[in-house]
Amino acid sequence: MQYILVDIVDRANFYPFSLTRSVAECRAGIFTFQERWEQYLEAETGIYTVPYLQTLYENNEYLNTSDPLYFINITCIPTEDIIAQIKSLNIGEKLISSSGKWIATKSEERSLTKILLANYAPKTIENVTFIDNAVHLIKLNSAFIQRDFNWVKANRVSQKLDDSNRVIEINQIFIEEGATISCANLNASEGPIYIGRDAVVMEGVSIRGPFALGHKGVVKMNTSIYGATTIGPFCLVGGEIKNAIIMGYSNKGHEGYLGDSIIGYWCNLGAGTCNSNIKNTGGKVQLWNESEQIWDTIGQKMGMLVGDYSRFAIQSRINTGSYIGVSANVFGMGLLPKNLPNFTWGVLPGYRIDKAIDDINNWMMLKGKAINEHEKLVLKHLYQNSN
């Protein structure tokens, strides 16, 4: 394994999602960051992250060798030119953007400090884009869906759509093997529509692209979806969804609105749960910045960021620009507070770690999975550092 994706440099910008997993597992478009890099590199990649998360990832034997490796900034958006420049690096050379931001290094070192700060010979490249933070994913999702759709279409053949569906721009719709779609309205005139392997789109669903539905995802009857929206693998969705990302294994299975938001892995939005994505005044929205412990002003529209394993009771009312941490069990009357930290119980701290782990395991069992020991250790680490 030659290529190592590094997320340590900017991972705090991707809270709450990077609290429980590497940024490499964040999803925008059809694929995760790691999957997209591997497509460009045409090779498997390893992950180099903070120590408490590193045990989540196998194939870490590269850390115990002295072989030269390519260390790559995971937040850099790959292009063919960037890949060519990375592959041309010699040992002791690094690639940086014209603004001086680190992109990649070829090195025998294993200390990130030495990799980043050593006096390596720099090579500079123009026209580089980085993903700045979690909110930036929402803005980039449309472009990622289009890029990923083009890659899929170039490498595979779409399955035929059932004649019961009403379709606009059939050439911008791709259906993976095993997917089931019947009596749906699919409009790809404003962006492509991708339906993943063994996914199900039920009767009466209306989808306007750009849109991506992951492996074994389910869209329930009469759901309305507007682009740019990504529903990750093993997710179940219903109601009304716009301009949102649900990363994987999460549920929004009933009526209610979700917009301009990102939901992590293994989350659940109870029936009737809605989020606001614009203030009544039309003014600028503030969102809690967990890493800097400040409120950021981010624009006129923002729904919520929801960390892994968090769940909302039925009829939850979520305020504009809300930050929900990891493993929060959220319930309460009226508009909920805009900042709910890790292990919130209701709207206050108090979700015991042993009960949190048991409850997470119960939810995972509903999808045929179980929490593993490494995931438990990550949660315990966060719990100890949240109190």
* Whether residues 293 and 377 fall in one domain: yes
Distances (CA, A) of 96 to 104, 320, 384: 7, 37, 37
pLDDT band at 122 (very low <50, low <70, confident <90, very high): confident
* Whether residues 231 and 168 fall in one domain: yes
pLDDT score for 115:
81
Residue where one domain finishes, among candidates 88, 113, 132: 132
Q: Give per-residue pLDDT as tens, 193-215.
A: 999 999 999 999 999 999 999 99
* Whether residues 183 and 226 fall in one domain: yes
Residue where one domain finishes, among candidates 111, 132, 153: 132
Higher pLDDT among residues 324 and 68, named by residue: 324
pLDDT band at 59 (very low <50, low <70, confident <90, very high): low
* Whether residues 121 and 219 fall in one domain: no
* Whether residues 125 and 140 fall in one domain: no
pLDDT band at 111 (very low <50, low <70, confident <90, very high): confident
pLDDT band at 109 (very low <50, low <70, confident <90, very high): confident
Q: Rounded distance, CA 361 to CA 312, Å?
A: 17
* Whether residues 197 and 122 fall in one domain: no
Mean pLDDT across the chain, nearest whole number?
A: 95
Q: Among the residues of 8-95, which ranges form H helices?
A: 33-41, 51-54, 80-87
The mean pLDDT of 332-360, rounded to a whole number, is 96
Per the structure, how many domains does the chain have? Answer: 2
Residue where one domain finishes, among candidates 74, 99, 132: 132
Q: What percent of the chain has pLDDT over 70?
A: 97
* Whether residues 252 and 355 fall in one domain: yes
User: Residue 163 has which token pair?
Assistant: 């004649």
Q: Rounded distance, CA 247 to CA 268, Å?
A: 12
pLDDT score for 113:
80
Q: Rounded distance, CA 183 to CA 9, Å?
A: 47
Asked whether residue 387 carries a pLDDT value surpassing 80, the answer given is: no
Instruction: Return the CATH number at 356.
Output: 2.160.10.10
Asked whether residue 60 carries a pLDDT value surpassing 80, the answer given is: no
Domain of residue 235, residue span: 135-384
The mean pLDDT of 233-256, rounded to a whole number, is 98
* Whether residues 182 and 68 fall in one domain: no
The mean pLDDT of 38-44, rounded to a whole number, is 96
* Whether residues 178 and 43 fall in one domain: no
* Whether residues 122 and 171 fall in one domain: no
* Whether residues 122 and 149 fall in one domain: no
Distances (CA, A) of 358 to 38, 74, 214, 313, 365: 35, 32, 27, 18, 11
* Whether residues 98 and 151 fall in one domain: no
Q: Give per-residue pLDDT as tens, 211-224.
A: 999 999 999 999 99
